[in-house]
Structures are given as structure tokens and as C-alpha cells.
Amino acid sequence: MKTRIVIAVAVLIGVMAAQTKPAPKQETKEAPKPARQRVNTNASAFELAPQEKVQKAAGVAGASRGGGESASPMLLAPHMGKLYGPSPRLAWNFSRRVRKFVVVVMDENQEEIYRADVTRPEFQYPQDAPRLEPGKTYYWHVEPEPAAMDMGPSEPAGMKVLSDGELKELEQALSKIGPADSFEAGLARAQLFRDHGLWYDALGAYGELIEKNPNRSELYEQRAEIYAQLEPTKELAERDAARAKQK
């Protein structure tokens, strides 16, 4: 009898101890951060034709983007890209030190329509230069000067101006955004150019926005994702991505 009482007491004490034992601490997990929306771009959105086709159309053979036996400027543009605005910004890289560069623009009949001497690796096609007409294709290349045996011109890049129908469609979309006086409107215009695969116009719009708003990280991020679509501009993409992290 005493033995049964002792056992019952021991069981009762064990039950009470189990009830008073603090519950294990529940670990709280932080809600996952939403993934950053990436710009939906790809090389095919900006690149309309392969290098060989552009060279043949422009009447140039054997040129290479910074490669080959001779050193030549590397154009920071698609081999063939669409264009909306009348004054595209042209840019290139060149590892040699030269006195100047000669920028040459030709029409689709391989006739020169404009030539300019510049001292920096960039050039804004002037408003008063011959008009780049809707639906037509133009080619541009860069020649380093003074010329040397181991230096040559760049391969050409093509600019296909939007047709009248495409221009009308784009301008209707732009009219809904309105003038790019505010940051929001300017960004919407840049994104519209990007979504239409307009390399020169998109980069020009982002460049203007960054000049006015140098501390907006999203501008560097979005421009970096455009630069990342082409091999010649991937270094610029990395540079912009690094700037975005510093803002």
C-alpha cells in the first residue's frame, strides 16, 4: 500500500513539473524581402542585325570592334539599332592616345552626309546637321587621327530611324506622359524608349536624368541593365551598378 502511494506521488510530481516547464522559445523568421524588379531587356531588343550584315551594307569589310591586327575604336552601340530622336549621342572607346577623332556619318547608299572632328570619345549629332529621315538607315564610324600603320577606323554601326507609322505610335505614347519637366515624366520617357528598344534615345534620356539627379540610384541601375545587353558596354554596366550601390 505504501509503495503504491509513493509511486502515485512521484507520478503527480512529474506531471506538475511538466506543466510548469516553460515552453520552448519560438524562433521568429523575418519576412523575405521582395525581389527587386529587373528591367525586362535583352540584346535582341536593341540589336537588329549581326556585324557582318552591317559591314556589308555599309561597304566596309575586315573592321573589328577593338580587335584584329590593327587597333581601332570600339563603338559603344549595337551593330544596328533603332533611332527616334534627331540628335543621337555617339560614343566609343579607344586605348591609344590620339590628337582627335573623325566621326563620319553615311546614308544607306554609302554616301557621306556628315563629318566632324572631335577631341573626346563621344559626339552629339547636331540639330543643324543633315536630317536623319524616317524609315531610312544611316551608318557611322570613327577614325583616329593622326593615322598610323597599326591603327584603323572602327567598324560601322547602323542607325535605323523609325518609320512614319512607328513615329506616330511612339509620339502618341509620349503625349500621354507629357513634357519631361518632372523627374517622374522624364523617367517614364526613358523607360518608354527602353521598352521600344531605342538604344540611343534611352541612353540619352537616362544621361539627362542622371545629370539632373546624380543621387538617384534607380537611374544607374536601369541604365546598367541596358548597358549589360551588349558586350562592348558591359564594363559601363558594371560601373553604373557600382555607383548605384554607393547612392
Phi, psi of 188 (to 5 degrees): -65, -40
Q: CA 128 to CA 143: how far, in whole Å?
A: 22
Burial class of residue 89 (count of CB atoms within 10 Å of its CB; 0-12, 13-18, 19+): middle
Q: CA 130 to CA 161: how far, in whole Å?
A: 14
pTM of this structure: 0.79
Q: Distances in Å between the alpha carbon of 12 and those of 1, 15, 54, 237?
A: 17, 5, 91, 72
For residues 77 and 90, the answer to whether their CB atoms sit within 8 Å is: yes
For the chain, the structural domain boundaries read 43-246
Please compute, for residue 61, the number of CA atoms within 13 A of its CA located in the half-sphere on the CB side. Answer: 1
Burial class of residue 59 (count of CB atoms within 10 Å of its CB; 0-12, 13-18, 19+): exposed
Q: State the architecture of 43-246 in CATH terms.
A: Sandwich (2.60)
The pLDDT score that the predictor gives to residue 147 is 76
Q: Who contacts 109 (Cβ-Cβ below 8 Å, separation ≥6)?
A: none
pLDDT at 229 > cutoff 80:
yes
Strands (DSSP E) along the chain, which ranges? Answer: 74-75, 80-83, 89-93, 100-106, 112-118, 122-124, 137-145, 157-161
Q: Distances in Å between the alpha carbon of 189 and those of 68, 86, 166, 217?
A: 39, 16, 16, 17
**By mean pLDDT, which of 27-36, 147-156, 234-243 is the weakest?**
27-36
The pLDDT score that the predictor gives to residue 218 is 97
Q: CA 15 to CA 1: how far, in whole Å?
A: 21
Q: What is the mean pLDDT of the chain?
A: 84
**158 beta partners:** 80, 139
- pLDDT tens per residue, range 43-68: 568 999 889 999 988 887 544 454 44
What is the DSSP secondary structure assignment for residue 105, as one 8-state letter? E
The pLDDT score that the predictor gives to residue 209 is 97
3-state SS class at 112: strand
DSSP β-ladder status, 80-83 and 157-161 = parallel
- pLDDT tens per residue, range 138-197: 999 999 998 777 889 999 999 999 999 999 999 999 999 988 789 999 999 999 999 999
